[in-house]
Chains A and B, each alone.
Chain A
Amino acid sequence: QQQVKQSPQSLIVQKGGISIINCAYENTAFDYFPWYQQFPGKGPALLIAIRPDVSEKKEGRFTISFNKSAKQFSLHIMDSQPGDSATYFCAAAGNAGNMLTFGGGTRLMVKP
């Protein structure tokens, strides 16, 4: 059973555009929602994370929007740059044994 569903699988955006990646979760015990960025041949790096007590968190060009009632959260990359081309993973974790669980990933390509 896939606990975190991510879409789209791939995304092409023009330079300067907005990239939007969506995730949905099922387990209401999750209380921590990070996004990871992974370049080819490298390990994932923590990009930004949110907890359910806020509906939005912004760090530079990256914003997480969180909808607790819908059990959905999304990553918005403003002013997308070619250097943002990577695979992005959403994830979720909670207490009491609810280990960090990943979505399937989105391969983002930003065209110059």
Chain B
Amino acid sequence: DGGITQSPKYLFRKEGQNVTLSCEQNLNHDAMYWYRQDPGQGLRLIYYSQIVNDFQKGDIAEGYSVSREKKESFPLTVTSAQKNPTAFYLCASSIVRTGAEAFFGQGTRLTVV
């Protein structure tokens, strides 16, 4: 089945730790995205990549980093510099480079303990 797989589903982080969220897609989409969702809020764009080995900052990139070494994979690292990392993180991909017709993964819920 084609789709987007995010792992893990739940992640706990201690203060000062970096953690990496995985996102893999087998839809052959060029573009991939990371969004952050806070309770009762809309989705805010963290980073996006329109092609392998290239990525751009979104609206809230501070404290996050990404890489795009393979077309299928777009991991997100939440660094210790992110002051309030507890949130629901969503990965998406689209064949259109502006995010139109984006398909989303099932999300990773990150909690700082």
Contacts and interface: CB of A to CB of B under 8 A. Distances in A.
B100 A105 contact: no
Nearest to A96: B98
Contacts of A61: none
A43 B105 contact: yes
B42 A93 contact: no
Query: What interface size band does chain A fall in?
Result: 20 to 34
A45 B63 CA distance: 27
B74 interface: no
B42 A102 contact: yes
Interface string A69-112: 00000000000000000000100011101111111110100000
A42 B102 contact: no
A42 B106 contact: yes
A46 B98 contact: no
A42 B9 CA distance: 10
Interface in A1-51: 6, 9, 32, 34, 36, 41-46, 49
12 contacts: A32-B96, A32-B98, A34-B100, A34-B101, A45-B104, A46-B101, A89-B42, A99-B33, A99-B45, A99-B98, A99-B99, A105-B40
